[in-house]
Amino acid sequence: MDQELVRKYAEFVVRVGVNVQPRQTLIIRCPVEQAPIARICAQVGFEAGAKDVVVRYEDEKLTRIRYEQGAEADLTSHKPSALRAWLDYAEDPDGCCLLALRGADPQIFEGLDVEKVNRVALAGRLFMKPWQEYTMKDRIQWCIAALPCPAWAAKVFPELPPEEGVERLWEAIFKVCRVDPDTDPVENWKAHVEKLTRCANALNEYHLDRLHFTSGNGTDLWIGLAQDARWEAAQSRAENGAVFIANIPTEEVYTAPHRLRVEGKVYGTKPYVYNGQLIEGFWVEFKEGRVVSHGAAKNDDLLAQLLESDENACRIGEVALVPASSPVNRSGLLFYDTLFDENAACHIAFGDGYPGTVAGGNDMTPEQLLEKGVNASAVHEDVMIGAGDTDITGFTADGREIPIFRQGEWVLQ
């Protein structure tokens, strides 16, 4: 592992990704095995002006033990103090920001009771929803970035010895995140963000009403857009005016579908990790915005659990456009991690929509967002649907056709 590149990566995700502001508290979520990286990020955070850095270590192996051994009634019971511990930072007059460092075994919960894992995870998301609204509504700066772990590296590079696999995964992360020894990642990302922003601005100028996706695998999907939908790109702006990059890497331009206006059939193009287990070879069919049938070559029952998480998990809250030429796709790797794989292909998200993807949405009530067509759910799960031959055509309300993607690439002028 190149320590110089690790330091560059930490500098970038703290100073540009989450963009710590003076006197803010920087909260870092990090796998316990990666404590040394958390310490580097903490050092950078203080150098950037944070008044404090709070690290919350996470242990996925312990989580598996709890799911396996704990009674469901106990695992779904949460102490109010656990939520208050997060909200206290968000409500601090000086504010806070969140850096989520993740590196997980894609199959950490393989073999466990699928329904139990799903119910426990859902209960946790519902309990934490008041905190999650701070990120979903961009009330604070937040950023998700990845760190390798041996189990994840073994899944991506099964032919390599463990240490070599981790090293190769570090190299892959640096490459797709535009971090290398010879250039400045800040300048690399400045140019990248400008390109994505141009695409988003061009789409917004057309005021599209709906999209039509087709691919050679059988995908034929119509997605109506929410009323006053706005296309967003890599960079977001928090309530305090600070800009940040929520996902590193990111290659997408995205917006809000109308929860009642999705029709047709779509095929997944990459496996999807859900609650520590893989769903592979899936398809779903929509009618009036709702999934009415589905199937998967592996873990169809898990897909059903996802779609039944709550009454709106079977609708979509996001549609995102990603060209097949993205660095993640060009790497030729399947990362088995949504943070990366969603940036290799166009995708949709079952469940919750982002309020900011409609004009003025971050200031709207849940009822007002529903009226605009933005979906509301306790889950937000991205699944990949783009292929190298995907065509996307946009349609305006008056019937004009706008070519957007041809053969998996942007053609928008």
* pLDDT, tens digit, 9 for 90 and up, residues 29-58: 999 999 999 999 999 999 999 999 999 999
177-235, pLDDT tens digit by residue?
Answer: 999 888 899 999 999 999 999 999 999 999 999 999 999 999 999 999 999 999 999 99
99 vs 382: CA distance, rounded Å: 20
pLDDT averaged over every residue in the chain: 96
Tokens, residue 101: 């460092």
Classify domain 3-176 at the CATH topology level. Thermophilic metalloprotease-like (3.40.1830)
Sign of CA dihedral 303, 322, 247, 140: negative
pLDDT band at 413 (very low <50, low <70, confident <90, very high): low
23 vs 47: CA distance, rounded Å: 11
Give every CB contact of residue 279 below 8 A, 6+ residues apart in sequence: 268, 271, 272, 273, 296, 298, 299, 300, 302, 303, 306
Q: Do 383 and 346 contact (CB within 8 A), yes or no? A: no
Q: Which residue has the tokens 């190299």?
A: 171
Q: How many helices (H) and strands (E) does the chain have?
A: 14, 19
Domain ranges of the chain: 3-176, 207-231+251-410
240-258, pLDDT tens digit by residue?
Answer: 999 999 999 999 999 999 9
* Contacts of the segment 370-373: beta carbons below 8 A, 24+ positions apart: 370/259, 371/227, 372/226, 372/227, 372/228, 372/256, 373/224, 373/225, 373/226, 373/227, 373/256, 373/257, 373/258, 373/259, 373/260, 373/261
131-176, pLDDT tens digit by residue?
Answer: 999 999 999 999 999 999 999 999 999 999 999 999 999 999 999 9
Q: Is 411 helix (H, G, I), strand (E, B) or coil?
A: coil
Sign of CA dihedral 294, 298, 304, 306: negative
The dihedrals phi and psi of 284, each to the nearest 5 degrees, come to -140, 150
Q: Is 352 helix (H, G, I), strand (E, B) or coil?
A: coil
DSSP β-ladder status, 96-102 and 25-31? parallel
pTM over 0.95: no
The dihedrals phi and psi of 97, each to the nearest 5 degrees, come to -145, 160
pLDDT band at 2 (very low <50, low <70, confident <90, very high): confident
